[in-house]
Amino acid sequence: MAIITMREAISQALWEEMERDPKVFILGEEVGVWGGTYAVTKGFLDHFGPERVRDTPISEAAIIGAAIGSALNGLRPVAELMTINFAFVAMDHIVNEAAKLHYMFNGQFRLPMVIRAPSGGGRQLAATHSQTPDAIFAHFPGLKVVVPGTPEDAKGLLKSAIRSDDPVLYIENATVYQQRGEVPDGEFTTPIGKSKVQREGKDVTLVTYSKMVDYSMQAAAQLEKEGIDVEIVDLRSLRPLDMGPVIESFKKTNRAVIAEEGWKSYGVGAEIATRIYEEAFDYLDTPIKRVAQKEVPLPYNRRLEQLALPQVEDIISAVREVLK
């Protein structure tokens, strides 16, 4: 397998799907001449041309509206938003049109579209540009929400998202583009809506996704030195949500920690914990612990920002606590 960055994995997936299917095209702010805010589409304009790599005005409502119209007419748009925080500007298009049109018209319309959006804090972009609102979008039926945590899944899930006939919000954490990992050679896809055990263990189940997969792996490596064996379950998709591997793991370990970058209140961790309580309460040996961002708008100051965000040490502390 090749060892590449998350950025390269996403770029490869886009390139390969555009080569495979002429109906796939990219649109967004600075995706063409500039090559994308995080350089994911660098070189695409020269190769595929301006008809398939379209720079747009600074209007997220226009970007998503155009993507919806294109998808309804048989194309497969991949709309890039500079940050998921700007998705709020296009919220009506995303949750009242893209997510609902197939259902409201009894399946007569399909919307094969992808919205790519960087999420999360850690780049000193301040409170309005550093949010992790994954749970908000996962709340709406009809919209698939994908959250890769490794380069392999970043590539495989994006290829599956582009081939899907449903609208998919593909969320990339903005701080992991340089994260490296093995990616299979040749053609492959990763199924949407399937969780994966990224590390096997027997003492505690650690449920996580996106950036927190890497943090969880770091925590598990340190805890292993103390004789603590952590099993890590990567959700990979928030809607549809696959609880099978989570419940199976919990029935083995009887303890769980959930790590997410978003705020704890009304978050992904709350949903996962409730599902475990509902589906596997009899296996519970100790209360479930959640690791999440502090309940404040994220500060600009570097030190304060890092204090507010969940860290590897927070995951380690939570695991130790459930094993007391």
- Same domain for 31 and 86, yes or no, is yes
Share of the chain above pLDDT 90, in %: 99
- Residue type, position 312, single letter: V
What would the pLDDT profile of 81-100 be if each residue is shown by its tens digit?
A: 999 999 999 999 999 999 99
Range of the domain at 99: 2-183
Cα gap 260→277, rounded to integer Å: 18
Share of the chain above pLDDT 70, in %: 100
pLDDT at residue 49, as a whole number: 98
pLDDT at residue 286, as a whole number: 97
Catalytic residues, by residue number, are: 60, 129
- Spans of the chain below 50 pLDDT: none
Domain-ending residue, one of 183, 205, 239: 183
The verdict on residue 188 lying in a domain is no
The whole-model pTM stands at: 0.97
* Two structure tokens written together for 153: 């899944």
* Two structure tokens written together for 284: 């519970």
The verdict on residue 189 lying in a domain is no
Q: Which residue has the tokens 């495989």?
A: 156
Per DSSP, the three-state class of 133 is: coil
Per DSSP, the three-state class of 97 is: helix
143: domain CATH number is: 3.40.50.970
